[in-house]
Amino acid sequence: MKKTTTAPLLYALLLVLISASMLNAQTSPSSQPKYKDMVVLNPNAEKDIQLVSDFLNALVSGHADDAGNFTANNYKGYGPGPNDSITIDSSISSWKTNYGRQTDRKINFVTESHTVTSGIYQGEWVSAWGDYTFTENGKDIRIPFQYTAHITNGKIDKDILYYDRLNVMQTLGYKITPPGNGQ
């Protein structure tokens, strides 16, 4: 009489399939928290949006010294590159340098605000996207940008700014020169 090993093999196969299914469920994107469970309306949206608007307008309008009033002592700015960061003192100094080169500075933007309820991005956020325009060396420059600020205790403690730095440099007349052969 021949013994059948089908039942134990099916049982083992079933266990493997269930384990793989559970592992897949744990690592699949569907196991990530849903947007509606992590992001809610910012209860301080109007106040936070006004803070960010005042900060951006102070920088562009030639009142960089006032910009520090809108930032926390531990403020850190990031962007536009992944390794770029700046303190508020460095930012104010940079803007003051801009005032000597740029004229007819203007900024237009729209904002939105939300609160992240958990995780590493927890807190109140304000995003602005728009255009910064100015004239430098007789050339009109337009910089589309995206700016996002984290607000803690009514102050901006970190922000991230994205814009196309290469386009600005090329518009101002800079040339990109690839490295030479062995030079």
**Rounded to two decimals, what is the model's pTM?**
0.79
pLDDT (tens digit, 9 = 90+) per residue, 101-134? 999 999 999 999 999 999 899 999 999 999 999 9
What CATH number has the domain spanning 36-171? 3.10.450.50
pLDDT (tens digit, 9 = 90+) per residue, 38-91? 999 999 999 999 999 999 999 999 999 999 999 999 999 999 998 999 999 999
Q: Where are the domains of the chain?
A: 36-171
Q: Which of 47, 101, 79 is nearest to 164 (CA)?
A: 79
Rg of the chain over Cα atoms, rounded to whole angstroms, equals: 26
Q: Which residues pair with 131 in a beta bridge?
A: 108, 144
DSSP string over 49-66:
HHHHHHHHHHHHTT-HHH
The answer to whether 122 and 116 are in contact (CB under 8 A) is: yes
Please state, in angstroms and rounded to a whole number, the distance separating the CA atoms of residues 51 and 35.
25
For a pLDDT cut of 70, what percent of the chain falls above it?
A: 81
Continuous H helices in the chain: 6-27, 35-38, 45-60, 64-67, 88-101, 165-171
